[in-house]
Chain A
Amino acid sequence: MSETMSQRRRSGAPDRSELPSYLVSDPRRRRGPSTRELAQGLCCFSIGLGLTEVACGGAIARWLGMPRSAAIIQAYGVREILQGVGILGASDPTPWISARVAGDALDIVTVLPGLEGHNPRKDNVLIALVALAGVTAVDVICARSLSDAPLAPSEKVRRDYRRRSGFRRGAEAMRGAARDFKPPPDIIGPEAMRPWVLTNA
Chain B
Amino acid sequence: MRALVWHGTEDIRCDTVPDPKIEHDRDAIIKVTACAICGSDLHLYDHFMPGMEKGDVMGHEFMGEVVETGKGVNGALRKGERIVVPFTIICGECDQCKRGFFSVCERSNRNKDIADKAFGHTTAGLFGYTHLTGGYQGGQAEYVRVPFADKTHIKVPENLSDEQVLFLGDIFPTGWQAAVQADIQPTDTVAIWGAGPVGQMTLRSALLLGAKQVVCIDSVPERLEMARAGGAITVDNSQESTVERLNELTGGKGPEKCIDAVGMEAHSPRALEHAYDRVKQAVMLESDRASVLREMIYVCRPAGILSIPGVYGGLIDKVPMGALMNKGLTIRTGQTHVNRWTDDLVKRIADGQIDPSFVITHRAKLEQGPEMYKTFRDKRDNCIKVVLRP
Contacts of A200 in B (CB 8 A): none
Residue A13 is within 8 A (CB to CB) of chain B in the complex = no
Q: Within the assembled complex, what's the spacing in Å between the Cα atoms of A118 and B164?
A: 78
Complex Cα spacing A161 to B181, Å: 28
Contact B229 A17 (CB under 8 A): no
Report which of B183, B222, B358, B365 forms a contact with A153, defined as CB distance below 8 A: B222
Name the residue on A nearest B201 (C-beta). Answer: A166
Does any Cβ of B come within 8 Å of A116's Cβ? no
Report the number of A-B residue pairs with Cβ-Cβ less than 8 Å: 159
B362 within 8 A of A: yes
Which one of B100, B210, B365, B374 lies within 8 Å of A176 (CB-CB)? B210
Selected from A2, A141, A174, the residue in CB contact (under 8 A) with B231 is A174
Interface size, chain A (Cβ < 8 Å): 51
* Nearest chain B CB to A185 CB, angstrom units: 10
Distance A200 CA – B183 CA, assembled complex (angstroms): 16
CA distance A185 to B279 in the complex (A): 42
Q: Is B23 an interface residue (CB 8 A)?
A: no
Which listed residue, B99, B205, B222, touches A186 by the CB 8 Å rule?
A: B99
* B343: min CB distance to chain A, Å: 12
* Nearest opposing residue in chain B for A198, CB measure: B185
Contact assessment for A34 and B272 in the assembled complex, using a CB-CB cutoff below 8 Å: yes
A152 CA / B146 CA spacing, docked (Å): 39
B78 near A: Cβ within 8 Å?
A: no
Evaluate contact between B381 and A177: CB separation under 8 angstroms.
Answer: no
The answer to whether A142 has its CB under 8 Å from any CB of chain B is yes
Q: Does A32 contact B (CB under 8 A)?
A: yes
State in angstroms the CA–CA spacing of A163 and B358 once bound together: 9
Q: Are A165 and B229 in contact (CB under 8 A)?
A: yes
Question: Inside 8 A of A35's CB, which chain B residues have their CB?
Answer: 271
Q: Is B151 an interface residue (CB 8 A)?
A: no
B207 in contact (CB, < 8 A): yes
Which residues of A, 20-42, contact B by the 8 Å Cβ criterion? 30-35, 38
Per-position binary interface string of chain B over residues 261-278, scored 1 when its CB falls under 8 Å from any chain A CB and 0 otherwise: 000000101111011001
Q: Is B19 an interface residue (CB 8 A)?
A: no
Contacts of A175 in B (CB 8 A): 207-208, 210-211, 231
Q: Digit string of B360-384 for contact with A (CB within 8 Å is 1, else 0)?
A: 0110110010010011001111111
Is the Cβ of A164 less than 8 Å from the Cβ of B358?
A: yes
- Given contacts A38-B271, A163-B229, A178-B210, A168 and B352 within 8 Å (CB-CB): yes
Please name all residues of chain A whose beta carbon is closer than 8 Å to the beta carbon of B364 when the two chains form the complex: 1
Whether A32 lies near B231 (C-beta < 8 A) is no
A198 to B183, CA, bound (A): 11
Q: Which listed residue (A2, A157, A174) contacts B207, Cβ 8 A?
A: A174
Residues of chain A contacted by B185 (CB below 8 angstroms): 195, 198
Which residues from chain A contact B228 at a C-beta distance below 8 Å? 162
State A189–B182 Cα separation when bound (angstroms): 10
Q: Is the CB of B208 within 8 A of A150?
A: no
A188 near B181: Cβ-Cβ < 8 Å:
yes
Known A1-B368, A153-B379; judge A188-B180 contact (CB<8 A).
yes
User: CB distance A167 to B186 under 8 Å?
Assistant: no
Question: A31, A171, A184: which contacts B230 (Cβ < 8 A)?
Answer: A171
Candidates B186, B222, B237, B365; contact of A159 at CB < 8 Å: B222
Take A166-B355, A178-B348 as given contacts and tell me if A187 and B230 are in contact as well, using a CB distance cutoff of 8 Å: no
Name A residues whose Cβ lies closer than 8 Å to a Cβ of B: 1-2, 4-5, 17, 30-35, 38, 141-142, 144-145, 148, 150-153, 157-168, 171-172, 174-179, 181, 183-184, 186-189, 194-195, 198
The 26 sampled A-B contact pairs (Cβ below 8 Å) are A5-B375, A17-B378, A31-B238, A33-B239, A38-B271, A144-B278, A148-B267, A151-B379, A158-B222, A161-B361, A161-B384, A162-B225, A164-B358, A165-B230, A166-B230, A166-B357, A167-B231, A171-B229, A171-B230, A172-B231, A175-B211, A175-B231, A178-B353, A179-B210, A183-B183, A187-B181
With A151-B380, A165-B230, A171-B231 known, 17 other A-B pairs at CB within 8 A are: A1-B368, A33-B239, A33-B269, A34-B269, A145-B271, A148-B274, A150-B267, A159-B382, A166-B358, A167-B354, A174-B354, A175-B208, A175-B210, A178-B353, A179-B209, A184-B100, A186-B99
Per CB-CB distance, the 9 closest pairs between chain A and chain B, nearest first, are A171-B231, A176-B210, A166-B358, A178-B208, A145-B271, A35-B271, A188-B183, A161-B226, A141-B275
